[in-house]
A and B are shown apart, each in its own frame.
Chain A
């Protein structure tokens, strides 16, 4: 089966800094791929290039075989990629349902259909009771879920998630992991950038490790984290120390 997303030799430079160098990896159909690496490894840059916020200097990014490198964010969305942001960006003065409806309008002009879809989505997120609350009045975690739901309303084939559990309590993180698995069960492939190793280990089918813009390892999470190159990249971080 062809991968849903395929990056080939993608590079990006900001002034003197090589943020991403010759990155090549792919996300399979229905796969959850974790993109990890120490701070400043180029994860977010790679993420933003896929999402259309930056244009790669070289290389191709293919969604189901079609090159999408350098396309605008709204074209990326139309092509079938949804995303969440590291710092969630809800439309504060719209209600939960209205927020979700904005996502729906990407595929459908009919307000009524979108409203129904949004109501369903709020239930899927476990936020049915909060669906008429303004996003401003939601907790940080609810905003994160709302953002996930909003992206899902655009009916993506691939979902990009930036730091899904940042700032969440352990029980919230558990809820988010479950939600992500439920999203995958809908047949959506997922690419996750995440700092919290526990989440990556429990969610990902496969991980890709970036360091200084270069891909240093890839494979099933359990194997990858024991590779010397990865341990070296992470050396000093508490997670590695505790295992050593």
Chain B
């Protein structure tokens, strides 16, 4: 075969530019690095709190994107994993005295197990059918917890929710009087999630998921068993989501079905990914960075007088995005910056 004679006019961008990293990795490293310095520069507690919220939602959205963005399914039931994870770690702590650090890992495996149980039969459902099934599953869990005070001796406390007793500054109990440790914990969690997504995207799993998104029949003909790869990705995503749920419960020292299992958090995760750019490594972070400040501003400065304002804005942003930036804001933004820095357009 005479393939060598055809000139390849340009190799990967990573080889033509002198940057040590691909642009998207570089952006991630710079953003996370700058964020790590923030607590040293700013001590305003509200500001740190808002940053934690941005990072938290970015993390949750990244976990959501890990499967939904890459395989092209819209799950609006991911809160069942954060809820299961959060309840698991809180109950293990309050009932058995297990450190939330260990409890959250248990919660992660519980959620992963749940995701396999639910994902195996439902992942072959298409589009809206899958979405509705996921909503229904999450609602089943939420309604059940909301109406169950005691489950075989486990005090779920229904709609009232669970309070994590205060232990002061106790690393083992995942409790800190300052917000800064929480800030670094969620920052590290986000960095790991982004790194995991990056790794997945370039691995066989990533290519398989994108192939399934593109065309299921064609993917099967290329040796991909869709159930196997989607279930695997779904389980990893559920695991990550559950860790986020545990973090949330520890940060607020409170967990209840409505906030931790309700539809709203699921929608938040999905909307941030979609607006930022689903199926991209940094899309969810961008989406959270755009949307969460709106929610924080509406909540903080207007003193809650405009209940629901931020969700109206989320809704409008979602509509605008679907109509004008169906691949998310990250694509036009990426193109703009590539042009600005004179880089050739790259993918990912």
Q: Are any A and B Cβ atoms less than 8 Å apart in their complex?
A: yes
A residues with CB within 8 A of B: 51-53, 72-74, 76-78, 82-83, 85, 89-95, 98, 101-103, 105-106, 109, 111, 119-120, 123-124, 128-129, 147, 150-151, 154, 182, 186
Chain A CB within 8 A of B8 CB: yes
State whether the Cβ of B168 lies closer than 8 Å to any Cβ in chain A: no
Q: Are A150 and B222 in contact (CB under 8 A)?
A: yes
- A selection of 8 A-B contacts at a CB cut-off of 8 Å is A53-B217, A91-B214, A105-B208, A111-B202, A120-B3, A123-B8, A150-B222, A186-B1
Interface string of B222-249 (1 = CB under 8 A from A): 1111000000000000000000000000
Q: Name, among B218, B224, B225, the residue most crowded by chain A CB atoms within 10 Å (CB to CB).
A: B218
The yes or no answer to B207 lying at the interface (CB within 8 A) is: yes
| Cβ contact within 8 Å between A154 and B223 | yes
Contact across chains for B221 and A77 when beta carbons are under 8 A apart: yes
Q: Is the CB of B217 within 8 A of A105?
A: no
Number of A-B contacts (CB under 8 A): 93
Residue of B nearest to A127 (CB): B6
- Is B207 touching A105 in the complex (CB atoms < 8 A)? yes
- Which residues of chain B in 183-238 are interfacial with respect to chain A, using CB atoms and an 8 Å cutoff? 202-204, 207-208, 210-211, 213-215, 217-225
Among B1, B3, B217, B222, the residue within 8 A (CB) of A102 is B222
Q: Is B335's beta carbon under 8 Å from chain A?
A: no
Q: How many residues of B contact A (CB 8 A)?
A: 26
| CB nearest to A109 among chain B residues | B204
**Residues of chain B whose beta carbon lies under 8 Å from any beta carbon of chain A:** 1, 3, 6-9, 202-204, 207-208, 210-211, 213-215, 217-225, 347
Would A89 and B222 count as touching, CB distance under 8 A?
Answer: no
- Given contacts A51-B221, A102-B211, 4 further A-B pairs with CB under 8 A are A52-B220, A73-B221, A78-B223, A109-B203
Q: Which 3 A-B pairs have the closest CB atoms?
A: A91-B214, A106-B223, A77-B223
In Å, the complex CA distance between A77 and B224 comes to: 9
**Residue of B9, B218, B221 with most partner-chain A CB within 10 A:** B221
For A123, what are the chain B residues with a Cβ–Cβ distance below 8 Å?
3, 6, 8
Instruction: Considering the complex, give the chain A residue whose CB is closest to the CB of B217.
Output: A89
Task: Evaluate contact between B347 and A95: CB separation under 8 angstroms.
Answer: yes
